[in-house]
Structure 1
Amino acid sequence: MATTTTTTEEPLTLISATPSPFARMNRIALALKAIPFNLQNEIPWESTTETPRHNPLEKLPILIFPASDGRSPVYDSAHIQEYIVRKFPDRGPKLVTGDVDLDLEIRQIVVLSEGCLDAIVLSRWEGRREEGKQSRLWIDRQNRKIDGAMRAFDFMVSQRRKEGKEYLVGEELSIADIAVVCTVGFVDFGALRPRWKDEYVGLKEWFEKLDGRKEFSETRPVMFDLKESVV
């Protein structure tokens, strides 16, 4: 377990898996807001995981509070982001605009990002089945979702660039930008669309600029070694 911030505050704990783009969104938000936290890495599908102790859905990431706090763990990446922006509005960048319509747009982009990532996970697990048991129809369906999301990301970026805007919504970095960078970064990390940078040049340029920032570059995914059978 590695402490990411030195402070007198009692740190939170974020349980993550090293390649997780879902947890990466939360790590970036916590770092941007200078909220002290410890990072605890696990493989949630293996028998030694502590994940079920904190989340009945047995999924990561999970945000855990100090024992002295008494609050229950918070889980699901999008909900953790919501918790961070609502409970720490005066720490660092707001990451939302405060305008109802713009913030609903921000959260829609987060939903799209997480849906794309869910499709990647579903496709990968299907691909881990024995070849004769895999469903091509299921994999094709997930691939359509991934491609649809990438086209949508590229369109959003191109529209904003035409308006001379740096960020997807509003005038400042938001959880929408974080979500898209983490999603596109995971597509790139997994080499899921090897030619995406040629196909979506505007998205590539936008992505690389944000992904080069300290809080983003320090949280890039790292693959783990899954030793136990899951499917």
Structure 2
Amino acid sequence: MSLTLISATPSPYARLNRIALLEKHIPFTLHSEIPWHKSETQTPKYNPLEKLPVLIFPDRDPIYDSSLIQEYIVGKYADQGPRLVTGDWEVDMRLRQVQVLGQGVMDAVVLKFFETARGKGKASKEWEERQERKIQGGFRAFEELVKNRPQGGEYLFGDELTIADIAVGCAVGFVKFNGALGEGWEERFPSTARWFAGLDERESFRSTRPVMFDIKPDQVI
């Protein structure tokens, strides 16, 4: 079955799914686009919410929302390692909670970016500060997770990569890419920085690092 993932090059949400697909060696075609470009985007054709990522199949309706796509990859390809979950219901609930935390940090980075982009005199300082608190809170939680990982091992849960590692790695990578925490975040969250540096050299992470696209104002929907 041929799969196509519609992605945007800077998107940490699509990166979650790209990494899962690569780790499980699932063949797929990557279609990168700028979802706001009215003359080029195919996103609205597959997702009425006009959001990425979208996983497209040749013989069934598409799946949209990165969490749901991740759930599909984990469940559909459960027999292909790494499993990305543990199989223990209680532990897997914790994995999914960490995934929610990681995506919440991504959401806050995006919200802060667009608020700041409104420009001086238009952006809400209170709104920006609220998103900043979310990002800081998320990173404090990441720091505790990394410090308390089993036997100081490579992964957050157990001895194999899981959806939790992917989510936190993508969130930290997005903050590093976006600069949402400014300079010196590595000194403030040293355990997270060291853990991330190792994870980010993994082939699936290295090959999916975010890249900014060129938004053309005259093409924005």
Q: Which TM-score applies when normalising by structure 1?
A: 0.91
The residue matched to 1:28 in structure 2 has which SS?
helix
Aligned position for 1:4 = none
Q: Which amino acid letter does the alignment assign opposite residue 228 of structure 1?
A: P
Residue 160 (structure 2) pairs with residue 169 (structure 1): no
How far did 1:92 drift?
2.2
Aligned position for 1:64 = 56
Aligned counterpart in structure 1 of residue 130 of structure 2, from 141, 145, 164: 141
How far did 1:108 drift?
0.2
Q: Deviations over 1:149-190 (max 9, x none)?
A: 0111011101116x3332112331101000100110111111
Aligned counterpart in structure 1 of residue 29 of structure 2, from 29, 38, 44: 38
Residues 105 and 169 of structure 1 are in contact (CA less than 8 Å); yes or no, is this contact kept in structure 2? no
Residues 102 and 170 of structure 1 are in contact (CA less than 8 Å); yes or no, is this contact kept in structure 2? no
Aligned counterpart in structure 2 of residue 110 of structure 1, from 79, 82, 99: 99
Aligned position for 2:185 = 196
Residues 106 and 174 of structure 1 are in contact (CA less than 8 Å); yes or no, is this contact kept in structure 2? yes
Quick one: distance in 2 between partners of 1:177 and 1:22? 14
How far did 1:93 drift?
0.6
Residues 17 and 23 of structure 1 are in contact (CA less than 8 Å); yes or no, is this contact kept in structure 2? yes
Moved over 6 A (4+): none
Identity of aligned residues (%): 56
Residue 88 (structure 2) pairs with residue 99 (structure 1): yes
Aligned counterpart in structure 2 of residue 124 of structure 1, from 113, 132, 140: 113
Q: Which runs of 5+ in 2 are unaligned?
A: none
Quick one: distance in 2 between partners of 1:189 and 1:159? 26
How far did 1:223 drift?
0.5
Aligned counterpart in structure 2 of residue 52 of structure 1, from 44, 69, 79: 44
Quick one: distance in 1 between partners of 2:100 and 2:161? 17
Quick one: distance in 2 between partners of 1:156 and 1:126? 30
CA RMSD of aligned residues (A): 1.4
Quick one: distance in 2 between partners of 1:42 and 1:113? 24
Quick one: distance in 2 between partners of 1:209 and 1:133? 40
Count of aligned pairs between the two proteins? 218
Aligned position for 1:7 = none
Quick one: distance in 2 between partners of 1:170 and 1:228? 46
The residue matched to 1:63 in structure 2 has which SS?
strand
Q: Which amino acid letter does the alignment assign opposite residue 46 of structure 1?
A: H
The residue matched to 2:4 in structure 1 has which SS?
strand
Quick one: distance in 2 between partners of 1:26 and 1:189? 18
Q: Deviations over 1:161-220 (max 9, x none)?
A: 6x3332112331101000100110111111222211111111111111111011110000
